[in-house]
């Protein structure tokens, strides 16, 4: 089994936003599980680090929270994407794509030589 990768700086927010876009309103635990599943369990995520990140996004107005009831009838705080959050997600996703493309171009020729 390959070593688990730590979450890169700054990408956690993007993952949270994307998760909320796909899944709709979700509680912290759900978001954490979803991120792990999508990464194919390759990411090691300390669930605790998620909460300050959620708070930060909420302070910035990208997400909003509300107490509700979970699928298992537990009281839980649900987060959902705001309109500002949607815009932020689009922008960050675009930037991420760009960064990936650039790095990709750097790496491509060396593979050819090999």
Partner 1 sequence: MKHLRAWLSRLAGVFSKQARESEISDEIESHLAMQIDDNLRAGMTADEARRAAILKLGGIEQTKQAYRARGTVPGLEALVQDLRYGLRQLRSNPGFACTAILVLALGIGASTAIFSAVNPILFRPLPYPDANRIMMLWEEHTGGSAEFACFGTFRGVSERSRSLQAVAVVKAWQPTMIGKGEPERFEGQRVSADYFRVLGVEPVLGRDFDAADDQHKGPNVVVLSDALWWRRFGGDRSIVGRQITLDDSLYTIIGIMPRGFENVVAPEAQLWAPLQYDPSLPPDSREWGHHLQMVGRLRPETTPEAAHNELHVALHPFTQAYASGFDSSGGAPQGIIVTALQRDITKDVRPALLAILGAVLLLLLIACVNVTNLMLARGAQRRGEFAMRVALGANRARLVQQLLTESLLLAIVGGVLGVLLARVGVRFLVALSPATLPRAHDIAVDKTALLFALGISSFVGVVVGLMPAVYASRSDPQSGLQQSSRTTAGGPQFTLRALVVAEVAIALVLLVSAGLLLRSIQRLFAIPPGFDSSHLLTMQVQEYGHRFDKDADRARFFDEALRAVKQVPGVVDAAFTSQLPLGGESDSYGVEFQTRPNDLSSAGFRYAVDPSYFAVMKVPLRRGRLLDEQDRVGAPMAVLLSESYARRIFRYADPIGQHVRMGPDYGHPEKPWATVVGVVSDVKQISLGLNDGEAFYITRAQWHWVDAAQSLVVRTRGDAAAMAPAIRRAIWSMDKDQPIVRVVTMDKLIADSEAQRHFALVLFEAFALVGLILAATGIYGVLSGNVSERTREIGVRAALGASPTNILALVLRQGLTLAGMGLVLGLLGAMVCSRALMTLLFGTSPLDPLTYLSVVAVLVIVSSMACWIPAHRAANVDPAITLRAE
- In the complex, the residues that contact partner 1 under the rule CB under 8 A are 27-30, 46-49, 51-52, 55-56, 59-62, 70, 72, 74-77, 84, 88
Q: Which is nearer to partner 1, 19 or 88 (by Cβ)?
A: 88
Q: How far is the CB of 114 from partner 1 (least distance, A)?
A: 40
Q: Which is nearer to partner 1, 46 or 113 (by Cβ)?
A: 46
Q: How far is the CB of 104 from partner 1 (least distance, A)?
A: 29
For residues 67 and 74, give the distance between their C-alpha atoms in angstroms, rounded to a whole number.
Answer: 10
DSSP run (H or E) holding 81: strand 75-81
Q: Which is nearer to partner 1, 18 or 85 (by Cβ)?
A: 85
Q: Which is nearer to partner 1, 38 or 76 (by Cβ)?
A: 76
Is beta strand 43-44 parallel, antiparallel or unpaired with respect to 5-6? parallel
Q: How far is the CB of 110 from partner 1 (least distance, A)?
A: 38
For residues 86 and 44, give the distance between their C-alpha atoms in angstroms, rounded to a whole number.
Answer: 26
Q: How far is the CB of 88 from partner 1 (least distance, A)?
A: 8
DSSP state letter for 73:
S
CA distances from 67 to 9, 25, 39, 70, 79 (A): 28, 11, 27, 10, 9
């Amino acid at each position: 089994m390959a070593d688990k990768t730590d979450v890169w700086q700054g990408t956690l927010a993007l993952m949270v936003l994307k998760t909320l876009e796909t899944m709709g309103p979700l509680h912290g635990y759900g978001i954490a599980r979803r991120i792990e599943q999508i990464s194919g369990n390759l990411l090691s995520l300390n669930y605790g680090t998620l909460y300050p990140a959620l708070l930060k996004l909420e302070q910035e107005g990208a997400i909003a929270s509300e107490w509700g009831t979970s699928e298992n009838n537990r009281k839980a705080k649900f987060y959902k994407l705001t309109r500002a959050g949607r815009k932020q997600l689009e922008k960050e996703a675009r930037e991420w794509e760009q960064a990936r493309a650039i790095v990709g171009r750097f790496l491509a020729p060396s593979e050819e030589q090999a």
